A and B are shown apart, each in its own frame.
Chain A
Amino acid sequence: MDAICNWCDALLSNPIWFYLITTVLKLVLMFAVILAFVVISVWIERRVAGWIQDRPGPNRAGLPLFLLQRFGSKEKQPLKELLHFFGIPEGSCIAKLCQWLRFDREIPFFGLIQPCLDGGKLFLKQELTPSYVRKAYFIVAPMLVLGPPMVAAAVIPFASSVETAYGSISMCVANLGIGPLWVFAISGLSVYGLTLAGWASNSKYPFIGGMRATAQLISYEVAMGLSVIPLFMMFGTLNLQEIVQAQAANGWTLLPLWGEGLSPQRWALMLPLLISFLVFVTCVFAEANRTPFDMAECETDLVGGYHTEYSSMKFASFFMGEYAAMVIGSAIVVTLFLGGWSIGFGADAALAGICPWLAVCCQFAMFILKLLAFIFFFVWVRWTLPRFRWDQVMKLGWLVFLELTVANIFLTAAVLYFVK
């Protein structure tokens, strides 16, 4: 036992091995969280859509209680037997609650089983590759859509750094000094997947969809990059971890209520920051190809857009890519504008003073909570707004957002210079 401990100690004391091990652990955590969130955001999408549209939403795919009959139960009413098994009297409020929740037929689990079964269904579906497509590109395209969002996630901090006996752990996979640039660069790559899918499908609707995706991405990437420059001017850094730390100490970008956030300069900056926020969020919607900007796949004129010819798991990877882009987009917005992992009101420093690991756990939970809230916002918008027309999207990107963001940079500079 001692030998193993000593060996681990020695291994972790070596800075290279320490770095490797922690990075692998963070990678696994990050991938698990993102992939889980893809599934969860599908579930949220359906659940919220059902809620908004006055219909039940996913509630059928539960754990059916008649399965108990398979295991030798002769009881026609499985709920009764189950209650009996746990020794709950039939007239008690628990039994009534179960009745009211319709557990007498199945345990619905709020429809959470649905996304899992959905995945299973897509796995088992027939994989159909039309004869007229460019095979190699056709297969590569879905991968190109799914890959970039995962890579882009590397720079997003999900908790503050922790000092351990062996060294400091920064709670993001890659603590790069060019954080946001990395995200823009990598997530911009995913459009190659869409364009390639449209081109390789060798069919007219996907082709138009791919073209639209390209045009849309170019017009929004520019505004997206320009819209966050005021933020970097204020923080004076491009490192996302440092940006979040500054927000934890001096108030979130959009909620400067503690620390140095109460200074007049900070409040004078609220207007440019608000403009930045609105433009950036809109661009994130456009980047993630979500309504009201889902030009590339809008079903009323392009049937399915770039993924018309795809089926089975290839089709599913497009959707996973879309949802992953949505999750990453939300994560970036949360990190830049809503304080990232910080709990706020000085609670981070206080918690870290009590126990650093407790602080990390709370911060991680806070990050997830904010992420969920923003995903909810994404879904809410999707089921409320109609879709733009293609040329209007272009106009909005080039004629409104570009000018607005450039003017915003000058406004920020003026505020930083004149208001002290």
Chain B
Amino acid sequence: MKTTQFVQVPDAATAAAGYLSNDADDHGEPVTLNVGPSHPATHGVLRLKIVIDGEEIVSCDPVIGYLHRGMEKIAENCHYNQFVTYTDRMDYLAPMSNNIAYACAVEKLLGWELPERGQAIRVLCCELSRISSCFLGTGVYAMDTGAMTAFLYAFEEKERVHNLYEQICGARFTSSYTRIGGMTRDLPKGIEKPILEFCDSALKTVDEMEKLLLHNKIFIDRLVGVGVITKEMALQNGMTGNNLRASGVCRDLRKTNPYLGYDKYEFDVPVAYEGDCYARFQVRMEEIRQSVRIIRQVMATLPGGPIWVQNDKGILPPKEAAMMGMEELIRQFMVTTQCVNAPAGQVYFAAENPKGELGFFIDSQGGGLPNRLKMRSPSYCTLSILPELLPGHLVSDIGAILGSFDFVQGECDR
């Protein structure tokens, strides 16, 4: 069997004539520059195909998916508790927030509500990871603009958060702290003191970094008026979190639809109206202060009581009871192998994560496995603005703009 193939023959004569007539643009031709997937400014494995004219960017085409692990498909094949560990690997700079957002989504499907202490602990962990993520975001951002030292100051605080993680859940990085209906364990005794000490040192470092950077002429020159995202642009591209608030939209899910009892705590939502890189930096610094404020309130009003949902089914019985009683042993077996028995239905839950709105859409047909789990990751939406935003900027601005978005590729690619 023969297949016919049509080949486009290039018009060599015309091309040669064009070349000889030498009527090319005096300014030369644009150059395609490949930034990434392995490049110091791209914070992971983002690849940008940019066309530059001199140093000016003409067009930009972001290529994502280098870290795609098929998490949404994996979720369909493991029960609700098993998937908790995968959420650590999404926004790996704030693993606790992901754990909590996911657990809350499944609990919303089940119609469960955590007891007060459980909620308070979740708020505490959320805010700790927000501080950690914002510190890294601002620190790396400083490094992208050439200020190495601020990055290491920020990293020191991030290390302190990881030390607290270790005390709270046993792991420093991949926490997997939550289960459906509660947490793996209660706060350890004597955790109050290190947490409050950390609050003080975090505020001190924020002040230090502001002194070092915020009023620095070079830093201001590089960021003010660079990467301006207007309100409309931000909303059209579905930006959320700090990046949206820096463009003048006051939208914080903790305020608009409070979950985990966020309405009990007093905090402000920092908003800036400029929408440039400098505004995003300021908002992120202020976010740390507000998180510290929330943590202090949580520690002051930490209620006693259980951390698990008080329910006969779906949650693990106490270990001692499982060793002694028949019913409890059966329950432990059932929870471990089949998890909860969720009702059929669809539910969407979104949490205000450090990077923006992290949403989980669960389509359940009953049982312990979701029929479909869809994630709305903030970094993905944030990066979608790049082709619109980058043209007209200089090559040096790539680092500043990408740094100001504070995205995580693990969450964007999932």
Give chain A's interface residues, CB within 8 Å of chain B: 49, 52-55, 204-205, 208, 291-292, 294-295, 298-303, 383-392
Contacts and interface: CB of A to CB of B under 8 A. Distances in A.
Interface stretch (B89-97, B169-177, B214-222, B360-368): B214-222
Nearest to A390: B396
Nearest to A389: B396
A292 B396 contact: no
A231 to B, nearest CB: 27
Given A292-B218, A301-B396, A301-B399, A387 B39 contact: no
Nearest 5 A/B pairs, CB to CB: A387-B146, A300-B399, A386-B147, A53-B152, A386-B145
A300 B152 contact: no
Interface residues of B, number: 31
B306 interface: no
B55 to A, nearest CB: 6
Given A300-B41, A300-B143, A303-B40, A383 B148 contact: yes
A192 B376 CA distance: 51
B218 A386 contact: yes
Contacts of B41: 300-301
A387 B223 CA distance: 11
Contacts of B219: 386
A29 B279 CA distance: 54
Given A386-B213, A389-B394, A300 B149 contact: no
B397 interface: yes
Contacts of A205: 33
A385 B156 contact: no
A161 to B, nearest CB: 43
Contacts of B216: 385-386
A383 to B, nearest CB: 5
A145 to B, nearest CB: 22
27 contacts: A52-B149, A53-B152, A53-B153, A54-B152, A54-B156, A55-B152, A204-B31, A208-B55, A299-B40, A300-B144, A300-B399, A302-B395, A303-B40, A385-B146, A386-B146, A386-B147, A386-B213, A387-B147, A388-B218, A388-B222, A389-B394, A389-B397, A390-B55, A390-B396, A391-B55, A391-B394, A392-B222
B146 A392 contact: no
A302 B398 CA distance: 10
B31 A301 contact: no
B126 to A, nearest CB: 28
A384 B40 contact: no
B246 interface: no
Nearest to B403: A300
Contacts of B218: 292, 385-388
A292 B222 contact: no
A303 B149 CA distance: 19
Interface in B12-65: 31, 33-34, 39-41, 55
B142 interface: yes
Nearest to A300: B399
B394 A390 contact: yes
A264 B142 CA distance: 46
A299 B148 CA distance: 12
Given A386-B146, A386-B216, A388-B218, 5 more contacts: A53-B153, A204-B31, A294-B146, A300-B146, A301-B398
Contacts of A391: 55, 394
Interface in B393-414: 394-399
Contacts of B33: 204-205
Interface in B220-276: 221-222
B240 to A, nearest CB: 26
Contacts of A292: 146, 218
Interface in B118-161: 142-149, 152-153, 156
Given A208-B55, A386-B216, A53 B396 contact: no
Given A204-B31, A300-B143, A383 B149 contact: yes
Interface string B184-227: 00000000000000000000000000001100101101100000
Nearest to A53: B152
Contacts of B143: 300
A300 B35 CA distance: 10
Contacts of B213: 386
Contact of A291 (B146, B396, B398): B146
Nearest to B148: A383
B34 to A, nearest CB: 8
A53 B153 CA distance: 7
Nearest to B156: A54
A181 B3 CA distance: 74
B139 to A, nearest CB: 11
Nearest to B31: A204
Interface string B61-80: 00000000000000000000
Interface string B306-341: 000000000000000000000000000000000000
Contacts of A295: 396
Interface string B371-394: 000000000000000000000001
